Amino acid sequence: MTSSRPLAVHQVVATLGYGDAIGNEVLGAQRALRGAGYRSDIFVQTADPRLEACARPYTEMIQGCTADDVLLHHFSIGSRASRLAYALPCRMVLIYHNITPPEYFVGVNTRFARLCFRGRRELGAYVDACDLALGDSEFNRQELEALGFRQTGVLPVVPDFSHLDVEPNRLVRSHFDDDRTNILFVGRLIPNKRIEDLIRFFQAYRTLFDARARLLLVGSDRYFEGYGATLRHLASRIGAGDVHFAGHVSNEELTAYYDVADLFLCASEHEGFCVPLVEAFYKGVPVLAYAAAAVPATLDGGGVLYATRDPVHVAGLIEALVSEEGLRQSVVEAQDAALQRLRSRDFPGTLVGLVEQVRHAPARPPRRVAAGFWPQVRFAERYEELREFRPSLYRALPKEPGTE
């Protein structure tokens, strides 16, 4: 590494998840940074057990990040890791992955609604605190600009599809690979994804066109089990048989679900990018998606968009895409072209160029940290030690007002 480069370009993220869009981007960014000659670690508040070896506890940023370093701060929800990152002396690039508006979770998950509200509120604190604010889509960049961030840009999401280049799960393939129509959705079962609309659209399609069709819902309802139960009740109440809730799946299972799918159907109202749409492109599955938030830009001329939630209308679109071979082929060809445009974007070069831009820019004034912040950090560290090593004592501690 030449002397003109910073000592390190580290990353911090609240949660490093296995198989999710943010986790894959963080790992991809680390590969790009190390490939460019930087030292680069990933600091996290929590990590999936399968990725713990790739990460360091966020509290180690205190010693691990110096004023000469650049910190890529992946902001997707308020967290202790974010607040600690704010107080560090290094230059900061904020990468905004979008926070779902909290109103989607009111009455469904109070804690999650509170976290999203706090996260959106905390985001405003970085307007004058970061050297550069990046959205991972133009939709997210525009939101940053509307919030008052002056130096903004786009760090394009260029998904790594290697997790889909694995041997498909034989059990999934044998169970669903037949002459029946499989309609697929991949994503978390949470309210902004409007899974209830998928079930209604599917039932209309079964009633009007194909009584033997199946709906495959691949994604976890963790922390939203009540919403998941409501979805199962809805399917039963309206007589929507053959709705399969697969839950969180392995890469081998995910590959198999894409392999057996005849159509990818999305009804989400709020997406900052939506990686499963381009995963479907990669697997040659035609996409039918609701035209909202970042979805039209993500499709980039591929797939088919719909603007009305009338189940009969959507069912007709499903039938056309499933049964009309010429239409299906033209849609897949448009998806292939959109995917080629996406994959031609130079993620490593763009990332390194933005890092160099920040490194050579005039230094910003030090971020102001409230009095008593560092004693609170030490208190939080002790609190976490109790949670991990003395769980009985931790559970006996008084709860914060308003928490469950």
pLDDT at residue 380, as a whole number: 64
Buried b (16+ CB within 10 A) or exposed e, 253-287: bbbbbbbbbbbbbbbbbbbbbbbbbbbbbbbebbb
Q: Rounded to 5 degrees, what are φ and ψ at 9?
A: -125, 100
SS3 24: helix
Mark out the alpha helices in 133-212 (DSSP H runs): 138-147, 170-176, 195-208
Domains 9-158+346-369 and 166-343 share a fold: yes
Q: Rounded to 5 degrees, what are φ and ψ at 375?
A: -60, -35
Instruction: Give the span between the Cα atoms of 111 and 116, in whole angstroms.
Output: 9
User: In this structure, are residues 393 and 386 in contact, taking their beta carbons and an 8 Å threshold?
Assistant: yes
For the domain covering 9-158+346-369, report its CATH number: 3.40.50.2000
Sequence ranges of the domains in the chain: 9-158+346-369, 166-343
DSSP for 139-151 reads HHHHHHHHHT-SS
Q: What is the mean pLDDT of each run of 10 residues along the chain (404 residues)?
A: 65 89 90 94 93 93 90 88 90 95 95 91 91 95 96 91 95 97 97 98 98 98 96 97 96 97 98 96 98 97 98 98 98 98 94 94 81 62 65 72 52
pLDDT at residue 98, as a whole number: 93
CATH class name, domain 166-343: alpha beta
pTM of the model: 0.86
